[in-house]
Structure 1
Amino acid sequence: MNILMLSSTFPYPPTRGGTQVRTFHLLKYLSQHHAITLVTQREPGVTDAEVLELRDYVDNLIVFNRPQDTSESGTLLEKIQRFYYFIQKGTPPSVLNRYSSEMQTWIDNFVEAGKCDVITCEHSVNEIYVRSHFQKNLRTIVNVHSSVYGTCRNQLKTGISENRFRDRLYLPLLRRYEQRYCSKFSAIVVTTEEDRIQMQEFNPKTEIQVIPNGVDLVSFPYRTHDPNGHRIIFIGAMDNLANIDAVCFFSNEVLSEIQKLYPDTTFDIVGSRPAPEVLALKEKPGITVTGRVPSMVEYLHKATVCVVPMRTGFGIKNKTLEAMAAGVPVVASERGLEGLSVDGSNIPPRALRANQPTEYVTLISQLFENSQLRTKLSRNARQLVETEFTWESAGKRYEEVLTSTGC
């Protein structure tokens, strides 16, 4: 089967963030059985070597330069103009600012020439390149990753929106936008049951499949020993709004309380492109901000506990799965554990659930004190990942959606 994959995010190396990781591992699996044409955009940080390396995983790699994103810049008049365009045309500025007319022309010609059997949009931002009439002649799939409407609504609810006034105006428009673009696709893929329910509400007749993220078990091997100590870690891209909020919340409201009980407690914030708010946290006792590191798993194996104190952001969190695969006991919020069965009746404990500062302090203290609990969580979590959250399993399920003849 000839598959045309669209990804405005350059999906290599698969260590840059959630979107890149998911796209890369799915295309890697599909390329074993199908001919893949990947159309993507190159941002300034992508090297020539990375472009060459990605070519080894696909039959045909088409790379366009990413347009400069101006969705958050410009004069007040320009911002007002973008908002009115959103009202009139129905497409958010964040999508339009990644749009390449050159890339659109290439896709149109490729599809009209009958060179593909299925199109996949890796992340909903790529839906803009799919014409409504495409699904008359071939199967069209959107791999949503997370609902833009749901994410905006949650950020407003939790109070971490960067621009509350703007997002209140955008929220009903995002709902309309998500409902409209989904109608162009033969099938929708989401990562969690929560997103499936959201999308089903918008599109009750559309085929919607839940395919969770996975972990590369070679890149995240199980740890060989328990390091003990009082070392806490958070991993993730540190220019991401949800991650910024998570580490600031933990640093400002939780860490000092733990340090009163365990003065030598440290907190490593490990991830690329740390925002100014994150870099400022280095001034607090015990906090290290690493920036991008050669090996995330080396830092994980040295940690006593991994925290995932997310207060916003939808979908299964790669950071949670990767920590669990590495064997690091996890203390996480409802958002950090979304889509994962980690506790409850007839479920062995795989992670500890916390949302309030006092809950984090209590549970982390328990893990610091109890090596048996650390071992139990470590083993159970690794087993869960091995059985339910590998990229091979995700790839097989994605292939079934792509090759299905259902409507």
Structure 2
Amino acid sequence: MATAIKIQEFDDLSYNPFLSHEDNFGNDLDPYPQIHALRAQGTVLPGSYRELMGYYCYYGDMPKFTVLGSKESEEVLIDTSRFSNSGYHPTLGATFGMGSISTMDNPEHGRWRKIFQKIFLPQYVRTWGDTIVDPVVNGLMANFLPRGEADLVDEFTHRYPFEVIYHQLNLPESDVNTFQRLAIGQTDFNHMPQALEAGVKLGEYFRGLIDERRANPGDDLVSLLANTEADGEYLPELVLISFLRQLMNAAGDTTYRGTSILLAALLQNPDQLEAIRKDRSLIPAAIEEALRWDGPVLTQLRVAIHDTTLGGVHIPAGAYVDVAAGAANRDPAFYPDPDAFNIFRDRRAHFSFARGPHICVGQHLARVEMTRALDAVLDNLHNLRLDPDKPAPEIRGIMMRVPAHIHVRFDQ
């Protein structure tokens, strides 16, 4: 779609937001032995998750704690009378905007979240599978199907959810590259001036798009959000722009990581991949197991509202509390043999989409995208297997996890 709105690049064109990944999220191949060793010391420990894992923590000087047990993690995420989302104010609040529902507590959070939920209900999201997701998948696969080999990350999963978002927003093709650089730069908290610059420039861009789409609405996501109301209220501009700023990271980046991890896990467990080939009804179980086994986001942040006790540990008011979802997802008290990837295990809810009132509003879209991606792989990449002549996939990171490459071969 053509637009009169001009998107602005970073002032420093040499700045590359894609190079910040390792500094921000770590490069550890397998953090889980260290996570298990920490949990053996207690389900709630003093210190931030980043510090306990040997990385710099940018939260400030307030007391910090890390939650490693599944029971205690659920307690923190659900009990909003004791734990607040205000810890995101200096980071996500600064770049996405203080209108981001990720930074809000109830009643403000619930008031605006219900409008987003209205758009992202499963019955609406499923229609995007046919009209948006499948054409993107088929278009990307057409580029490598004739070769009989591919890097599924570089050529498919890294591009796929972002292309879906561009179509949902109906962005002009000319804006896509700059848009992605700004969107990724927003979470480069080790380069805060650029992160703030990205938030400002995306805000200006979305403000113009909202005005255009309100005057001439279409069926794109900007038009839907700008014109949707709940209980007679439209989303305030601050809340709407904050959500649109966050969409690329919350929906695109995490879905790219989750889909990549799912495919890597199945290719490294070919018996389970073969079982899915024979019975597609196993796909939902495979998706949930991949999200549990090595979820794309390993921590969620909360702040203690008042003095409280958690797991027998005193938590003072104002303390930052890292909920280590990756630890909770591999808690042997909750998941038998937790380090094994096993799509046949008894299904229990995982922590990768959080819990409680802040559970991921885009979780249904993420599942649709992961399902359609796996269906397309099974339909088109016959006899899919890892390329024996190239390095095996390595899932890395302590905060955000993803393999850099998945080299495969398949029968043409």
**TM-score (normalised: structure 2):** 0.27
Structure with more of its chain in strand, by fraction: 1
Structure with more of its chain in helix, by fraction: 2
Structure ranking higher on relative contact order (CA contacts 8 Å, 6+ apart): 2
